[in-house]
A and B are shown apart, each in its own frame.
Chain A
Amino acid sequence: MKLLQCPINGIRPLSEFTYGGEYRDMPNPDTCSDKEWAAYVHYRHGAPGVKKEWWYHGPSGTWFIAERDTMADKVVRTYIAGQEEAK
């Protein structure tokens, strides 16, 4: 059974979680160029490595960030968005 650490609820089976996509900084839609916006909407960075990802713990409704090495499928750390300094 694969396990994942929810920053609020602790270690839980992966079946309690849903993957929410890669975390990416959104350019300011009012000031960025069309090219920048199109790249943000359509492009994904597929190279393996440590990625920031959104994950959702369903039973408690908790969204959080997991930093995951997509080459090794190993989660480096998890934290609530905006609280990464505490981890």
Chain B
Amino acid sequence: MQDAVLMSPVAFAHALRKPVSGEVNGMETALSFDAADVEASRSKTLSICDVSNLNRFGVKGPQAANWLQTAGIKLPETTNSWTPQDNGSLVMRLGNTEFLLEDRPENDLARMLNDTAVNEGGVHKVMRNDAAFIVSGELTPALFSEVCAIDLDGATLAENRLVMTVIAGVSATLLKQTLNGQSVYRIWCDGTFGPYLWKTLLSIIEEQGGGPVGFNFYYSLT
């Protein structure tokens, strides 16, 4: 019997564009949509990339912070902020007692934590099935001004702040980080809303002259 391969929650929205697909972290994902130079050009103008396949670990509870610190994880000090680990994993503090970790493809901190049994009170794992995107390009303010009611320029996302807001009618978590030397926005939403949000953002992105880029554009797999 074959092992099941998950598909990205956005996979059906990708299909019409016939991307080059491959398996990353056990999830079928769009690795590229076009030639590398075309995708590079899009990323400078306005682009969206599906990174739902990255490993994630959610945990909450009054003892969650202690539990993570005991595991050697550096935590953001305040609610609605994030901090990178030395290996590049992101740790987001979604509330006083709730955290979300996300790995880069080459590390496995979130996977290890998912595999760790939690046997103490006040620590509860949170199942995650996010659709996750990277949005980049110089026209991102024009995109967000159409779909988001709060002003994301300026200090809102400065100094490792994150924002939980509504994007195109969907509750989402948003932050700004530097990835491969490029300033990008990261978006997470419930996976069931992923295809809608992908299509909505992509339609605006294409109006602005941008387009989709594949997973390999940000995380080259060798």
List residues of chain A with CB under 8 Å of any chain B CB.
1, 8-9, 12-13, 15-16, 57-62
Chain A residues within an 8 Å CB radius of B165: 9, 12, 16, 59
- Further 15 A-B residue pairs, CB within 8 A, beyond A8-B79, A13-B150: A8-B80, A9-B80, A9-B163, A12-B150, A15-B166, A16-B149, A16-B166, A57-B164, A58-B166, A59-B164, A59-B165, A59-B166, A59-B171, A59-B172, A60-B94
How many residues belonging to B are interface residues under a CB distance threshold of 8 Å?
13
**B contact face: mostly helix, strand, loop, or mixed:** strand
Least distance between B209 CB and chain A CB atoms (Å): 29
Interface residue B62 (Cβ < 8 Å from any Cβ of A): no
Least distance between B62 CB and chain A CB atoms (Å): 15
- From the candidates A1, A13, A15, A60, name the one contacting B164 in the complex (CB within 8 A): A60
Contact (Cβ within 8 A) B172 A1: no
Q: Which residue of A lies closest to B79 (CB)?
A: A8
- Known contacts A8-B80, A60-B94, A60-B164, A13 near B149 by CB under 8 Å: yes
Chain B residues within an 8 Å CB radius of A15: 149, 166
Contact (Cβ within 8 A) B172 A12: no
Chain A residues within an 8 Å CB radius of B171: 58-59
The contact string, 1 if C-beta is below 8 Å from chain A, for chain B 90-121, is: 00001100000000000000000000000000
Least distance between B163 CB and chain A CB atoms (Å): 8
- Expressed in whole angstroms, the Cα–Cα distance for A81 and B165 within the complex equals 21
- Expressed in whole angstroms, the Cα–Cα distance for A16 and B172 within the complex equals 11
Least distance between A81 CB and chain B CB atoms (Å): 14
- Expressed in whole angstroms, the Cα–Cα distance for A27 and B166 within the complex equals 37
Contact (Cβ within 8 A) B164 A9: yes
Least distance between A29 CB and chain B CB atoms (Å): 27
- Known contacts A9-B164, A59-B172, A1 near B149 by CB under 8 Å: yes
Which positions 150-201 of chain B face chain A at CB distance < 8 Å?
150, 163-166, 171-173
